[in-house]
A and B are shown apart, each in its own frame.
Chain A
Amino acid sequence: MNVKLNIIDLSIGYASKPACWQAGKQTTVVYKGISASFTSGMMVGIIGKNGLGKSTLLRTIVGLQEKLQGEISLDNKALDLLSKHELAKMIAVVLTEKVGGFNLTVTDLVAMGRVPYTNAFNHLEEADKKIIHDCILVCGLNEHTSKPVNELSDGLFQKAMIAKGLAQQTPILLLDEPTAYLDFPSKHQLFELLKKVSKEENKCIITSSHDIELVLKYASHMLILSEENEFEFIETSNYKVSELFKKVTNGYFG
């Protein structure tokens, strides 16, 4: 399925509800004026300093927090018009927060990805089970299926979360700093996996990361958020590595 995710002049941040005795609305703008267009098969790396709004952007796209201004549209349909349930079939997300406990195993976790598709009693059909199994295989977790999630190493946990995202069978997959706690080989493995998925399954993958060298190596596009509310959305193949590196370092060091 080919999809197109358009962001036009988007302002992200936090609108805090005022206490009942206060008038008006207080907003904290984290970043404003982001425009970009993502399509299937893209692998986008979002780069920027801490606190510039990488996570906020991802959370806004997936509907976990409200946008302040601008538009997000999916195949020319405004995202706000989609219900939570419809959205869950279009966009999957891997956040930085940990889940686990309550006897949750890797298989159980990946099975959560089927929730948007199952019936009211969350019954898994044979087809669902096959998808779960395939996603576990793709992420190389077949030896860990019955392990409790909270016993996994950071690398395996990220893979399990990605497997859950894949089981959701959405055309778009968002990841928030998936490589944060991983060692160097695991980071490469993870990006390799993401690249493979974006190519083979024609998914649009958008990931934030501080690992510039990985983004330079694997991403097809980059969204660079820099301090002065200037952002760049570029295709990596249009630039030489040295130019890219300059852009990225500009983003980080101003």
Chain B
Amino acid sequence: MAFALNVLLAGSSVLKFSEINFDDYIFRNIRLSKALTALLCGISLPIAGQILQVLFRNPLAGPYVLGISSASSLAVGIAIMALHTFGVMGYLFFSKTAIILAAFAGSLFCTLLILFVAKKVISNVFLLLIGLMLGQIFGALQSFVEYFSTDKGLREFVMWSFGSLGNSTYTDITLFAGIGIGLIIILFMLTKPFQVFLMGQNYANALGVDFAKYRIYFIVISSLLTALATAFCGPIAFVGLSIPIMTRLIYRTSDQKFQLTACLLLGGITMLICDTLCYTILPDRVIPINVITTLFGSPFIIYLLFKTRNW
């Protein structure tokens, strides 16, 4: 809560709490909506990351390991270029919606590809490699699109890829919150199979948990959460990978109910802090959120790793 307040108070000019006027346009439509977006982003990406890390039993997995962010980046790249080509970029509302839709469509497309592969093959390593390769393909196509893009389009795309929490309207936020929280509730109903996934495929099956079936569920939940965050905020780096690692290093328990809850809380708080830092470090300048999350998060993880002998 305190962090949420911080974000609300810090801005181009720092407000005192008593100065907050809840009817103020800037407060409602910029600061509050931004804080809510940060919170949603900080909740959904770490959960998506934790799901994939447990599924692949590998702490290097993150929400983007299955190529989802590359796919949405590519889609957004194409969308921005197309908008410029047809000269309709200026119409702000239209182009913004187009970008959100493109990002979501790209993520969904990649998710469907991954699901198709997951239905065909049993091996997790195979699936991971396919995901990485898909990511590479989308990345290469994106370079191709960028190469032929106009200067303006390229700049716009680079700005998008920095990630931004400030673009969401309340319709966006309601959508994000509704679907995101719904997915997380479903995940919490599935904590038992999720816990058993720590044992890997063979033991999970031998313990009566249908690995193939639940793997599909978990991939869908994780991918949709990633798709949502990417669509509304751009490719937010790092939190999805790092928060689950952090919670495991800080809270030494294998109980997934606990770990998922910790991911929710720590992720939300971290994003709020990072968003505050974006505004307060340099006077009169806003630093891209991805710069902050990575610059401050990585050293913290390194510190935790050195502090913890076994992990």
Contacts and interface: CB of A to CB of B under 8 A. Distances in A.
B57 to A, nearest CB: 7
Interface stretch (A86-94, A220-228, A237-245): A86-94
A115 B196 contact: yes
- By secondary structure, the B interface counts as helix
A33 interface: no
Given A59-B202, A115-B209, 16 more contacts: A64-B202, A84-B205, A91-B206, A93-B203, A95-B206, A102-B53, A102-B54, A102-B57, A103-B254, A104-B198, A112-B198, A113-B207, A118-B192, A122-B257, A148-B310, A151-B310
Contact of B208 (A87, A95, A122): A87
Given A99-B198, A102-B57, A112 B191 contact: no
Interface in A138-178: 148, 150-151, 168
Interface string B240-266: 000000001001111101000000000
Contacts, number: 80
B191 A121 contact: yes
A108 interface: yes
A126 interface: no
Nearest to A86: B208
Given A121-B191, A148-B310, A99 B206 contact: no
Contacts of A92: 206
Interface in A177-226: none
Interface string B197-214: 011101101111110000
Interface residues of B, number: 28
B295 interface: no
- By secondary structure, the A interface counts as loop
A102 B203 contact: no
A103 B205 contact: no
Contact of A112 (B54, B202, B207, B252): B207
B189 interface: yes
Interface of B: 53-54, 57, 59, 189, 191-192, 195-196, 198-200, 202-203, 205-210, 248, 251-255, 257, 310
A112 B203 contact: yes
A40 B184 CA distance: 45
B195 to A, nearest CB: 6
A59 B57 CA distance: 22
Nearest to A87: B208
B310 A95 contact: no
B243 to A, nearest CB: 15
A101 B53 CA distance: 11
B253 A84 contact: no
B231 to A, nearest CB: 30
Residue of B53, B54, B198 with highest tally of chain A CB at under 10 A = B198
Interface in A103-122: 103-105, 108, 112-113, 115-116, 118, 120-122
